[in-house]
Amino acid sequence: MRSPGVNSNHYPPYFFHEIVLHLEIAHLLWHNNSYVQKYCKQKEDQEGDCMSVKDTRIKPYTGEKIKIHPYEHKAQYYETDQMGIIHHSNYIRWMEEARMDLMDQMGFSYKAMEEMEIISPVLSVKCEYKSMVHFRDTVVIEARMVDYNSVKMKIVYRMTDKETGELRAVAQSEHCFLSNSGKPISLKRSYPEIDTKFFTLYDEDGEEITEF
């Protein structure tokens, strides 16, 4: 009796080639992510622990922190799902909008950062949904930077209804800084003037979201 197995005659000639190609791509992605995480950890060890942020420049930043105004988003019809409420994936997009606005208020837009060949990818993101948002509701998003060490940063978000003040969601995201070639960098060492701008945002008394 013939043992069960894969009969290659049942598959088109390109089938196994595509499987190998997908495996190679997955390996490259895994390898690149492992490299970035390892390199970031080395940078953190050099710059200091992210959870105990300390300004170690020759001239520590002693200027005033800038006052950040909350970002507002009016829920759109295309953001709703079959149940008539805002689909959960849109909250992640709103976090990005609030993050871009945060940098604009800092005086160093994401566009300006990319023009300097600096990128800031997402390392992790969390979001907990507290109540529903409906079409045409206006959501107020307070974004605060609660951790920063020139290599990585953490931002927390609190989303509330503009009219009622009801809590809609709490979230946080972590980011690192890379060159256009994908190599992790330290803003303190490579771009000290930009590092100073980020310190105007850093909320040393800020706390991480505890609602998770």
Please write the tens of the pLDDT for every residue from 118-134: 999 999 999 999 999 99
Active site residues: 81
Q: How confident is the model at residue 53 (pLDDT cuts 50, 70, 90)?
A: very low
The model carries a pTM of 0.71
Chain centroid to CA 3 = 50
Mean pLDDT of 91-96: 98
Q: What's the CA gap between 84 and 157, in Å, rounded? A: 24
User: Are 188 and 57 a contacting pair, CB within 8 Å?
Assistant: yes
The pLDDT of residue 205 is 63
Please write the tens of the pLDDT for every residue from 158-209: 999 999 999 999 999 999 999 999 999 999 999 999 999 898 888 766 566 5
Please state which CATH number belongs to domain 69-201: 3.10.129.10
Residue-wise burial string across 94-113, b where 16 or more C-beta atoms lie within 10 A, e elsewhere: bbeebbebbbebbebebeeb
Pull the structure tokens for residue 126. 């969390």
CA dihedral of 36, 42, 43, 46, whole degrees rounded to 10: 180
Inform me whether the pLDDT recorded for 97 exceeds 70.
yes
Q: What's the CA gap between 35 and 24, in Å, rounded? A: 16
